[in-house]
Amino acid sequence: MGSNPTPGTKSIKNRYWESIEIILKLIIYIILTFFLKCYLYSIGINKYILFYVFYALPYLLIILDINIKSIKREIKLYKNKNLIEILILIVIITNFVIKKNNKEIEQIILEGYKYPYTFIPTITLLAPFCEEILFRGIILNVLLNNNQYLAILFSSFLFGFIHMNTLQFINGFIIGNIIGVSLVTTFSINKCIIIHIINNIIAI
């Protein structure tokens, strides 16, 4: 007779699956807000305001989603077991749409570089803050309850993956490990944000 997994093992696996679910949802939110931003650009809404708002919006949505999910868990509402598969399908479809409109999207991304007063603060301040709150403050913190080394590697993989670019994935994975070790040794999210800020300033 095979041994059944203990409740603790199930709980650990669930944390990793939930982390993947969070990242897939974040990708979907980023894509959806990107298309909304493109539309608002086209009708003449202030680009400076949109640049800040639409960078932070996906992270605000995912944090809200996490809080709602916590409430649902407490009142034991039904959880869709096929959610991961559905999210993966949505990501594939939306990425296909993006590839079909690749030239227009590249042009809009390049437009962001023309506005240093929004681009530089976003990359050096807003991005480190939003990303560290999610990846180290939430995801890594939850995973650390089990194997610290595996938790750092896995959260760093997710951090690299979210950049959806091979070169940025490698850089994200490396810096993610460095920042992860910083969190484990200092227990300070502020220091994680500072390291991230320094990394992004050097990269510009």
pLDDT means over runs of 10, the chain (204 residues):
50 84 89 84 74 86 80 45 60 58 58 70 91 93 88 94 81 93 92 93 80
- Rounded to whole angstroms, how far apart are CA atoms 157 and 8? 24
Burial class (CB in 10 A: 0-12, 13-18, 19+), 80: exposed
- Rounded to whole angstroms, how far apart are CA atoms 87 and 100? 20
Name the nearest CA neighbour of 187 among 134, 141, 132. 141
- Rounded to whole angstroms, how far apart are CA atoms 175 and 195? 9
Length of the chain: 204
> H-type helices in the chain, by residue range?
7-42, 47-74, 83-100, 102-112, 116-121, 127-134, 141-143, 148-161, 166-186, 189-203
pTM of the model: 0.76
For residues 161 and 180, the answer to whether their CB atoms sit within 8 Å is: no
C-alpha of 79 from chain center: 22
- Residue 158 confidence (pLDDT): 93
- Residue 15 confidence (pLDDT): 85
- Residue 7 confidence (pLDDT): 47
- Residue 131 confidence (pLDDT): 94
Q: Which residues contact 94 (CB under 8 A, 6 or more apart)?
A: 28, 31, 32
Name the nearest CA neighbour of 51 among 112, 116, 131. 112
- Residue 166 confidence (pLDDT): 77
- Residue 151 confidence (pLDDT): 94
- Residue 147 confidence (pLDDT): 87
